Amino acid sequence: MSEFVPSNIQREMEVYGYDTVVKSHCRMCHGGCGVLVYLKNGKAKKIAGDPDCPINHGTLCPKGIASLQLAYHPDRLTYPVRRIGPKASGKWERISWDEALDTIAGKINDYKARFGAESIVMGYGTGRDNEAVIYRFANLLGSPNVLTAGHFCYGPRIATSIITCGTNPIVDYENNPRCIIEWGNNIVISNPDEYKGESFSVALEKGAKLIVVDPRMTRAAARADIWLQLRPGTDAALALGMLNVIVREELYDRDFVENHVYGWEPFVERVNEYPPDKVEQITWVPREKIAAAAKLFATTKPAGIQWGVAIEQQINCADNDRLLMALMGITGNIDVPGGQVLFQQPGIRNVGYFGAHRMLSDAQRAKRLGGDRFRLAGNFGIINPKCVWDAIITEKPYPVKMLFFISSNPLLTRANADEVYRALEKVEFMAVSDFFLTPTAEMADIVLPAATWLEMDYIGDFWKRHGYILPRRKAIQVGECRSDHEMLNDLAHRVGQGEYWWDNFEQALDWILEPLKMTWRDFKKLDYLRGERIPQKYRTVGFSTPTGKFELYSTMLEKWGYDPLPRYREPLESPYSNPGTVKQYPYILITGRRIPGFFHSENRQLPWMRELNRDPVVEIHPDAAKKEGINEGDWVIIESPRGKIRQRAKLFPGMDPRIVSAEHGWWFPENKDPGHGWRESNINMLTDNSYANCDPAMGATHIRTLMCRIYPERLEGDVSHE
């Protein structure tokens, strides 16, 4: 437990009788916000923003404030359990940590010996600061199969930026961008990855011009200089249209293009295929607006693109990312102050190094599920989930016998939930580490009680690209909960990996920091460290790509057999690609817009957060609602060719009447049936995960654009949930 007490809050402690205050970093989302945790008698009593933290300057979002409701929730799992009835029977018995880890280790050793390490799939969801230990464990085990959300979230940005310019370009909010495009992102709600909505808002207040690319009117779209209200899933066409204007009107940065770009001529040829009038037909955005946005962005410098996950959950995922980088690059905004920065971490052993990717043999790497099919993903260690479900269900190309999910709830968060369920039902052995018995955990054989961010020492933001690392200091202990890092360190010793791990996890932190000649004890006295910043480093050393240039034409994609130039493909399920289906399913369904209190399937059991959003909500345009006989607040059936679910109607005029927008991640912890109602309102009952509907290089599932129909539940004969 940290003994570190910042001096400026000692007085507050005396007045209110707190025993101590621990400075740490929240991780109720991807994390990063500095917090002060006030303690009394070993219990955390209050969480406040840390005004000295350079990431949040004392601000916190609702989820951060509700951290204590998570840590001390009465339903929280506080000791390991083993299932004693059939899957999803809700029958569990308490076991010791030793018994839990011995059982899991026994299964790992057995499956490895009989079916190969590849038969064991480790899994996590979005970034939770535990990926380094999970990859280390899997790589040392010899399993190339770590199932994450990386195929359709953030992984594409990392993979495509590495092959385009060496690392992920981040908007440089500190140096006053004068123009920002917020593209498929809602940063003030989502605070994703290395970004916080606060910095974006401050930049706007300082007068930055704003262009928003979003089919829905978000708060940012409402105040934008230009709002490009596109048809969902057509981002690649829109970007190509903007590039077309920039190239045709010669608004690009000549020096950058002449000296630092690879593949300019073929790129221009491709861009010429997308004149604004054609793009208008594809995207529904008027050509004048496309031209105006292109000009504003190209002529207002410095400028940045705040990109989001909506562009990645599409069939055009990798090309969308590459096109946005092309916009950043050819307008001369790469690695300039106030543009897009290529930050460096302080010189620690980074996540990739810690993850021991080099320790995985070539023979095992070649067995990565889907590695041949989705080669961009496969080369970055990312797999498409369907490849795992198929390997379980069909035992091809080889059987997967064991799943070990550490911080993921795939029944709610992966496309085609019905198929996910069938795979979880069939898999021989499943372990889960989580805070609660989620619908996914209810399918497991053993569930381990995970520690929240308040209960661990760690080097926070270790995986991000903003250049900071921050000490996350342990403030409390709850029951027998353990961090995933400690748990895997312990498990590793039981499966013969001991020589590559540590006696305790603090030694691992020391090892990460060793290149800085610093230990965890030294580091935790600091507020943060930040890597050195060298603007326009490419001018002296080039870009870290095969050609040393900014690759508009990707030599890596070419090598892997893909089109080296970005293009637009029509979604497989859209009003234009299958007009027959449109008669039956007339609306374009967007899924998963972020809402303040929840994080995917999390927080439905936290009273403050549930008060913000009691029920799942589907946004429907008033004209569409009228046509379908739907009133505000009605329970509505949303149906796709794959199934139907129910959510509550909110009439929302801020989008085209042909679009509806549903929330994701819904289950009902208050429903004490062991399934906790996971099918009822789970939007992923409707999404499609077929290979044909994925990005061909990245394997991203296309969950942002599908076709659906909607009608009031009262008209539904065979569904009665009330």
- Closest by CA to 380, choosing from 167, 97, 593, 633, is 167
- 566-595 residues in contact with ligand SF4 (CB under 6 A) are none
Pick from ligand MGD, Mo ion, ligand SF4, none: which does 150 bind, CB < 5 to 8 A by kind? none
Rule CB under 6 A: choose which of 416, 647, 681, 687 binds ligand MGD: 687
Nearer to ligand SF4, 128 or 216 (CB): 128
Asked if 28 touches ligand MGD (CB under 6 A), the answer is no
Asked if 35 and 48 count as a contact pair (C-beta separation under 8 A), the reply is yes
Instruction: Considering only the stretches 133-141, 185-193, 386-394, 626-634, report the one whose residues sit in contact with ligand MGD under the rule CB under 6 A.
Output: 185-193
* Crossing angle (nearest 10°) for helices 264-272 and 235-248: 110
Min CB(312)–Mo ion separation in Å: 8
126 or 483, CB closer to Mo ion?
126
If the CB atoms of residues 596 and 643 are measured against ligand MGD, the closer one turns out to be 596
Tell the smallest beta-carbon distance from residue 177 to Mo ion (Å).
24
Among Mo ion, ligand MGD, ligand SF4, none, residue 662 binds (CB under 5-8 Å by kind): none
Q: In this chain, which of 2, 20, 119, 126 binds Mo ion, going by CB under 5 A?
A: 126
Q: Which does 33 bind (CB under 5 to 8 A by kind): ligand MGD, ligand SF4, Mo ion, none?
A: ligand SF4
Q: Which is nearer to ligand MGD, 346 or 410 (CB)?
A: 410
- Long-range contact set of residues 529-535: C-beta below 8 Å, sequence gap at least 24: 529/346, 529/468, 529/469, 530/346, 530/467, 530/468, 530/469, 531/343, 531/344, 531/345, 531/346, 531/347, 531/467, 532/344, 533/341, 533/343, 533/344, 533/467, 534/344, 535/335, 535/336, 535/337, 535/341
**Closer CB to Mo ion, 184 or 329, in the complex:** 184
User: Considering only 55-63, 200-208, 614-622, 680-688, which stretch makes contact with ligand SF4 by CB under 6 A?
Assistant: 55-63
At closest approach, how far in Å is the CB of 28 from ligand SF4?
3
Angle made by CA atoms 540, 543, 544, in degrees to the nearest 5: 120
Whole-angstrom distance, CA of residue 316 vs CA of residue 152:
11
Residue 379 has a CB neighbour count (10 Å cut-off) of 18
* Candidates 126-134, 172-180, 489-497, 689-697; binding stretch for Mo ion (CB under 5 A): 126-134
d(CA 47, CA 38): 6
Reference 148, options 439, 408, 457; nearest CA is 408
153 binds Mo ion per the rule CB under 5 A: yes
Is there binding between residue 438 and ligand MGD (CB under 6 A)? Answer: yes
String of contacts with ligand MGD for each residue 537-576, x by CB under 6 A: ----------------------------------------
Choice from 56, 67, 145, 185 touching ligand MGD (CB under 6 A): 185
Comparing CB distances to ligand SF4, the nearer of 88 and 609 is 609
Distance CA 209, CA 303 (A): 9
How many Å apart are CA 240 and CA 157, to the nearest integer?
Answer: 18
Residue 68 beta carbon to ligand SF4: minimum distance, rounded to whole angstroms:
12
Least Å from the CB of residue 211 to ligand MGD: 11
591 lies in the binding site for Mo ion (CB under 5 A): no
- Minimum CB distance to ligand MGD, residue 722 (Å): 25
Supply the minimum distance, in Å, between the C-beta of residue 413 and ligand SF4: 17
Sorted by sequence, the CB contacts under 8 Å of residue 4 that are 6+ apart come out as 22, 23, 473, 524, 525
Q: How many CB atoms lie within 10 A of CB 74?
A: 6
Interface with ligand SF4: number of residues (CB under 6 A): 12
Closest to ligand MGD by CB, 313 vs 384, is: 313
Q: How far is the CB of 31 from ligand SF4 (least distance, A)?
A: 5
The interaxial angle of helices 484-494 and 505-513, nearest 10 deg, is: 100
Q: Which stretch binds ligand MGD (CB under 6 A): 12-20, 50-58, 416-424, 591-599?
A: 591-599
Q: How far apart are CA 389 and CA 422, in angstroms?
A: 8
Give yes or no for a contact between 190 and 183, defined as CB atoms under 8 angstroms apart. no
List % helix, strand, coil for the chain (3-state, nearest 5).
35, 20, 45
Cα gap 330→376, rounded to integer Å: 24
The residue (of 408 and 647) whose beta carbon lies closer to Mo ion is 408
* Among the listed residues 530, 165, 188, the one whose alpha carbon sits nearest the alpha carbon of residue 344: 530
- CA–CA separation, 38 and 605 (whole Å): 23
Contact call for residues 403 and 123 (beta carbons, < 8 A)? yes
For residue 706, give the nearest of 684, 678, 681, 680 by alpha carbon: 684
Q: What's the min distance (Å) between Cβ of 64 and ligand SF4?
A: 2
**151 to 170, contacts with ligand MGD by CB under 6 A?**
153
The b/e string for 227-266 (b: 16+ C-beta within 10 A; e otherwise) is bbbbbbbbbbbbbbbbbbbbbeeeebbeebbeebbbbbee
Site string for ligand MGD, 598-637 (x = CB under 6 A): xxxxx-----------------------------------
Stretch that binds ligand MGD, among 46-54, 227-235, 358-366, 636-644 (CB under 6 A): 227-235
For ligand MGD, give the closer residue by CB, 136 or 549.
Answer: 136
Question: Could you tell me which of 398, 313, 381 has the C-alpha nearest to residue 116?
Answer: 398
In whole angstroms, the minimum distance from the beta carbon of 412 to ligand MGD comes to 6
Question: Looking up tokens 């080296």, which residue turns up?
Answer: 564
Distance CA 655, CA 661 (A): 9
CA distance 607 to 423: 33
* Cα–Cα distances in angstroms (integers) from residue 71 to residues 52, 79, 166, 449, 673, in the given order: 24, 14, 39, 12, 23
Q: Give the Cα separation of 18 and 102 in Å (integer).
A: 40
Name which of residues 400 to 429 contact ligand MGD (CB under 6 A).
Answer: 406-410, 412-413
Residue span binding Mo ion (CB under 5 A) among the ranges 99-107, 121-129, 575-583, 602-610? 121-129
**Under rule CB under 6 A, residue 664 binds ligand MGD:** yes
Cα 529 to Cα 94, 282, 462, 604, distances in angstroms: 42, 46, 11, 35
Q: Rounded to the nearest whole angstrom, what is the least distance from the CB of residue 436 to ligand SF4 in the complex?
A: 18
| Binding-site member from 9, 21, 22, 26 for ligand SF4 (CB under 6 A) | 26
The set of residues, in sequence order, having a beta carbon less than 8 Å from that of 175 and lying 6+ positions away, is 302, 337, 338
| Closest residue by Cα to residue 208 from 292, 334, 303 | 303
- Residues in 98-127 that interact with ligand SF4 by CB under 6 A: none
Contact 663, 647 (CB under 8 A): yes
CA 418 from centre of chain: 22
Q: Using CB under 6 A, pick the residue from 21, 29, 171, 383 that binds ligand SF4.
A: 29
Select the residue interacting with ligand SF4 from 22, 23, 32, 210 (CB under 6 A): 32
**63 near ligand SF4, judged by CB under 6 A:** yes
Told to check if 213 binds ligand MGD by CB under 6 A, we report: yes
592 scored as a contact of ligand MGD (CB under 6 A):
yes
Dist. CA 718–CA 598, nearest whole Å? 30
CB 661 within 8 A of CB 616: no
Site for ligand MGD in 328-387 (CB under 6 A): none
For Mo ion, the binding residues in 380-409 under the rule CB under 5 A are none
Q: Which stretch binds ligand MGD (CB under 6 A): 168-176, 190-198, 342-350, 624-632?
A: 190-198
- Chain residues that interact with ligand SF4, rule: CB under 6 A: 26, 28-29, 31-33, 56, 60-61, 63-64, 191
- Chain residues that interact with ligand MGD, rule: CB under 6 A: 29, 125-126, 128, 130, 149, 153, 183-187, 189-192, 213-216, 218, 230, 232-233, 235, 308-311, 313, 406-410, 412-413, 433-436, 438, 450, 484, 590-596, 598-602, 664-665, 683-684, 687, 703-704
